[in-house]
Amino acid sequence: MLSKKTKYALKALINLAGQPPDEPVLISELARLEQIPRKFLEAILLSLKNAGLLQSKIGKGGGYFLAREPRNISIGSIIKVLEGGYAPVQCLNASNNPGCDECNDFSTCGIRLVMTDVMQAISSVLETTTLADMVERSDNAKQANANVVDFNI
Amino acid sequence: MLSKKTKYALKALINLAGQPPDEPVLISELARLEQIPRKFLEAILLSLKNAGLLQSKIGKGGGYFLAREPRNISIGSIIKVLEGGYAPVQCLNASNNPGCDECNDFSTCGIRLVMTDVMQAISSVLETTTLADMVERSDNAKQANANVVDFNI
DNA sequence: ACAAATGTCTATTTATTCTATAGACATTAA
DNA sequence: TTAATGTCTATAGAATAAATAGACATTTGT
């Protein structure tokens, strides 16, 4: 289950995706628009910047903007920053692998073997879907709604 | 990420899958074998029973046993009991749908639209993989290990 | 050089969820 | 009738997530 933090991050990025990259957006502006606690959002944006997904400009006229085009930012890469990966069990996270407490034999653990398949399935979606796709799908849905309204009128 | 509770449940069920259904296993025995806190396991097994995955017998000679064959118990059905589903966002959980706090428009939420795909991918694995599959994969891995040992000797 | 605007960083608090434990109770078999 | 066993309710403890506070550093424009 995505944490609130991750959802906040996605919302902020969706917002920034609709903004020209030469017009930085203020943290406080983003917080207000997306209804995210300002200080909490600060920390989120900083993580995204440290991960190379965002850039920032300090001082007057500063703010945040996307480091690359929305179609070059996968949803998976975003989630990895906020949640540290999307493995259904700890022992499948590539690096920092402390293994599972409950597991006596890593190599034959049935849970891990099945969860490897699950993770693969998740990956295949998250790695191929981009921020641009997410925005596009939302826009399409809005368009569809608008058409229904037109029809009813 | 699967909770410890869910992993305990899977371990207990794997154990019971290797047991003839007419020989109930004691909670305390399961707890000892799988190294699960006894009282915690009690609650877990009870949930699984209430969900119809396990049956129990009270009194001397009693204990727990699978309600049906391992090949008829999907991993998804197990996870649903312990985690209440496997939706990556709350608003995708079929029933008890309180929606997401952060979402102003359900129908056009890009996060939900993308996460629907993710959930579908997870489903396709969890609904088609059974307890029997999980046991089998573990057994295969054990066999493979054994062969390597034989070869080395 | 200065002041205002803005992001950066560290620490702390509060809330929520997960994990674990305790003990009384109900049921069955011998 | 008694011992063995699962059932139920309540609570405590630990870990994690969410939110807040305030001092600091950097840039821009005058």
What's the structural domain count of chain B? Answer: 1
> What per-residue confidence (pLDDT) applies to B147?
79
CA of B93 to C1' of C16 (A): 20
- Residue at B151 is within a domain: no
**A26 and A68 in contact (C-beta within 8 Å)?**
no
Look at residue A6 in the predicted model and tell me its pLDDT.
98
Please name the residues in contact with A3: beta carbons below 8 A apart, sequence gap of 6 or more: A82, A83
Strand spans (E) along chain A: 54-57, 63-66
What confidence score (pLDDT) does residue B84 get? 95
| Residue B84 placed within a domain | no
Is A119 at the interface with chain B, CB within 8 A? Answer: no
Q: Which nucleotides of C are covered by protein (CB under 7 A)?
A: 4-11, 18-23, 26-30
Q: Is residue A54 part of a domain?
A: yes
For position B37, which CATH number holds?
1.10.10.10
| Burial (CB count <10 Å: 0-12, 13-18, 19+), residue A61 | exposed
> pLDDT of A63-116, one tens digit each?
999 999 999 999 999 999 999 999 999 999 876 455 677 788 899 999 999 999
Chain B residues inside the 8 Å CB shell of A117: 125, 129
Q: Which residue is nearest to nucleotide D17 (CA to C1')?
A: A3
Helix (H) and strand (E) counts in chain A: 6, 2
Nucleotides of D under 7 A from a protein CB: 3-10, 17-22, 25-29
pLDDT, tens digit, 9 for 90 and up, residues B31-72? 999 999 999 999 999 999 999 999 999 999 999 999 999 999
Q: Give a yes or no: residue A107 inside a domain.
A: no
Q: Is the pLDDT of residue B123 over 80?
A: yes
Cβ <8 Å between B114 and A107:
no
Chain-centroid distance of CA A110 in Å reads: 30
- How far apart, in whole angstroms, are the C-alpha atoms of residue B128 and residue B77? 10
Cβ neighbours of B134 in A, within 8 Å: 110-111, 113-114
- Which residues are within 8 A (CB) of B106 and not within 5 positions of it... i.e. 6 or more apart? B91, B99, B112
DSSP string, B38-74: HHHHHHHHHHHHHTTSEEEE-STT-EEEESS-GGG-B
CB contact, 8 Å: B11 with chain A? yes
In a domain, B121, yes or no: no
User: Which pTM value belongs to this model?
Assistant: 0.94
> Scanning the structure block, which residue is given the tokens 């799988």?
B34
Query: What is the domain range of residue B28?
Result: 1-73
Q: Is the dihedral of CA A106, A107, A110, A115 positive or negative?
A: positive
Q: Are A63 and A42 in contact (CB under 8 A)?
A: no
Nucleotide nearest to B26 (CA to C1'): D5
Cβ contact A102–B4 (<8 Å): yes
Query: Residue B59 domain-assigned?
Result: yes
pLDDT of residue B151: 60
- Whose tokens are 């890009």? That residue is B110
Chain-centre distance for alpha carbon B6: 6
Arithmetic mean of pLDDT over chain A: 93
A74 beta partners: A130
Q: Does B138 touch chain A (CB under 8 A)?
A: yes
Please tell me the distance from the alpha carbon of residue A28 to that of residue A38, in angstroms, as a whole number. 6
Per DSSP bridges, beta strands A54-57 and A63-66 are antiparallel
Separation CA A85–CA A92 (nearest Å): 9
Q: Does residue A133 lie within any of the structural domains?
A: no
Is there a domain that residue B93 lies in? Answer: no
Q: Which of A2, A91, A104 to mutate to test the interface with B (most CBs of B within 10 A)?
A: A2
